[in-house]
């Protein structure tokens, strides 16, 4: 490990929910929950105001509504979040060529590789400036951790939340880690944590006291050795600029179990087409087709078929997924379906296949909203998604608060306005239309939204 805290971990604070609050003045300081709003939806992100009531990510949405019935419940706007993420990642890449994104709102940065920092003082300056730059460019906050390793930098950013910065000085790691739960270490999930607990091991220090041999006996050679090293604060994992995509997949969860075998087959075909769109969008193809089925009793089955070469032909993927479906019993009902492609490559070998006859398959037009139901079953109100942007010919830009019974309620406000008024319209009002999200910060000159003074950093003397 290095002898200076020059690995930075950035974690945006309650990212989706904070982006919605910044976009909607009437929600600032209020409980906001973002996620799937159907009966089987889950929470993607909860604002800090919602967390006070016990709401957290991955919680069933029905449980969140019981805990915080007065919160604002919104459907995610992933395109909007992605545009903000691109601004944040641009700031990080201005600091170093070694930026390892983990998700839209989280990344590691090797500050030493970019000459941005070389000791505790310079690293702290970079971290503080980064936080200020993120606020200036996006109107959002992020928490920064600085340490000599990835594991410790991530722990530091968690301690810094919300909207803070924590530096872990080299030499203090063991003292810091000792009293922490074993779950703080990478690779310790619920199953491993329970296994260690049953062995009387609850803290990182107790892992060290148990010794490496005992860890190997409990967890196996590879996991035991690795976990013991982490407990000693030994983490040599480098920051990797490019994380290779291993698979491309799509899935849908259905509000009501699907029992009709024909409908299940149609859903699988639709998912196969969506998956190929993502493949082609990324310039990839793949050899292994994967089908995922979660049945009425929550049992989850996966089936796969490996082709003779990589493809991005929708007909080939559809036919392979249909063959895989034949081997799955869906009699009791299906609550989730997914189609994926792995064994990725950046080329295709269409001529190898006898599976699909004729020319390359053409993709049908994508259904608006990609809702998990047949088109003719979708009520008109589905066009007006809670939290999404609209514009009205007379009242301007706003967002959907809710819809139903032939009506849609809209609050008219923008990121830089005062909290706006609420108005209700018929769902077929010709003056109301879907709109693109507005930027959180008004930018002058340049599409990137980054000013030169916001991407500078100190250089080694």
pLDDT attached to residue 375: 35
- Residue 304's alpha-carbon distances to 81, 135, 327, 328, 371, in angstroms, are 32, 45, 11, 12, 25
Contact (Cβ atoms closer than 8 angstroms) between residue 338 and residue 249: yes
pLDDT attached to residue 347: 55
- Residue 137's alpha-carbon distances to 142, 396, 444, in angstroms, are 12, 25, 11
351-370: b or e for each residue (b if 16 or more CB lie within 10 Å)? Answer: eebebbeeeebeeeeeeeee
Q: How many CB atoms lie within 10 A of CB 338?
A: 20
Block residue for tokens 């199953």: 191
Which tens digit of pLDDT belongs to each residue from 256-295? 889 999 999 999 999 999 999 888 877 788 889 999 999 8
Contact (Cβ atoms closer than 8 angstroms) between residue 3 and residue 149: no
pLDDT attached to residue 396: 95
Is residue 374 flagged as an active site residue? Answer: no
Q: Is the dihedral of CA 276, 282, 285, 290 positive or negative?
A: negative
Which tens digit of pLDDT belongs to each residue from 331-357? 888 999 999 998 887 555 443 433 343
Packed helices 314-326 and 261-281: angle between N→C axes, nearest 10 degrees: 140
pLDDT attached to residue 353: 38
pLDDT attached to residue 102: 85
Block residue for tokens 């329970």: 194
pLDDT attached to residue 192: 82
Radius of gyration of the chain (CA): 25
Q: Of residues 20, 100, 106, 112, which has the active-site annotation? A: 106
Contact (Cβ atoms closer than 8 angstroms) between residue 2 and residue 148: yes
Q: Can you say how many angstroms the Cα of residue 404 is from the centroid of all Cα atoms in its chain?
A: 29
Average pLDDT of each block of 10 consecutive residues along the chain (461 residues)? 91 96 96 86 91 92 94 92 94 94 91 93 96 96 95 94 94 90 84 86 91 87 86 90 78 87 93 90 86 87 88 90 91 91 68 38 42 38 79 95 90 95 93 93 54 40 42
């Amino acid at each position: 490990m290095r002898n200076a805290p020059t690995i930075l971990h950035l974690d945006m604070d309650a990212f989706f929910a904070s982006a919605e609050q910044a976009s909607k003045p009437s929600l600032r300081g209020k409980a906001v929950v973002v996620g799937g709003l159907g009966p089987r939806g889950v929470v993607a992100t909860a604002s800090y105001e919602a967390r006070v009531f016990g709401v957290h990510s991955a919680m069933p949405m029905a449980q969140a509504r019981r805990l915080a019935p007065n919160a604002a419940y919104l459907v995610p706007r992933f395109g909007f979040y992605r545009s903000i993420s691109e601004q944040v990642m641009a700031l990080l890449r201005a600091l170093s060529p070694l930026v390892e994104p983990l998700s839209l709102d989280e990344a590691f940065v090797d500050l030493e590789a970019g000459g941005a920092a070389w000791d505790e003082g310079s690293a702290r300056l970079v971290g503080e400036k980064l936080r200020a730059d993120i606020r200036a460019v996006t109107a959002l906050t992020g928490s920064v951790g600085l340490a000599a390793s990835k594991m410790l930098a991530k722990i530091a950013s968690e301690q810094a939340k919300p909207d803070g910065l924590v530096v872990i000085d080299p030499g203090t790691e063991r003292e810091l880690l000792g009293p922490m739960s074993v779950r703080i270490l990478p690779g310790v999930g619920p199953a491993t944590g329970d296994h260690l607990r049953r062995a009387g091991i609850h803290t990182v220090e107790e892992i060290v006291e148990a010794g490496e041999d005992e860890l190997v006996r409990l967890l196996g050679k590879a996991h035991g050795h690795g976990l013991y090293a982490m407990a000693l604060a030994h983490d040599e994992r480098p920051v990797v600029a490019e994380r290779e995509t291993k698979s491309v997949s799509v899935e849908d969860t259905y509000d009501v179990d699907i029992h009709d075998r024909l409908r299940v087959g149609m859903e699988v075909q639709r998912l196969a087409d969506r998956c190929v769109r993502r493949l082609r969008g990324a310039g990839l193809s793949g050899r292994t087709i994967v089908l995922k089925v979660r049945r009425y009793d929550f049992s989850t089955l996966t089936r796969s078929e490996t082709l003779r070469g990589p493809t991005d032909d929708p007909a080939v993927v559809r036919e392979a997924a249909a063959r895989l479906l034949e081997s799955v019993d869906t009699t009791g009902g299906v609550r989730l379906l997914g189609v994926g492609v792995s064994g990725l490559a950046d080329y295709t070998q269409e001529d190898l296949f006898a599976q699909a006859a004729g020319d390359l398959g053409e993709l049908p037009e994508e259904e608006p909203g990609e809702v998990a139901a047949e088109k003719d079953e979708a009520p008109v109100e589905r066009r007006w998604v809670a939290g999404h942007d609209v514009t009205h010919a007379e009242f301007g830009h706003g967002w959907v608060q809710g819809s139903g019974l032939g009506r849609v309620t809209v609050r008219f406000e923008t990121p830089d306005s005062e909290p706006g008024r609420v108005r209700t319209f018929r769902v077929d009002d010709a003056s109301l239309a879907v709109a693109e999200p507005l930027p959180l910060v008004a930018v002058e000159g340049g599409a990137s939204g980054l000013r030169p003074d916001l991407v500078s950093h100190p250089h080694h003397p």
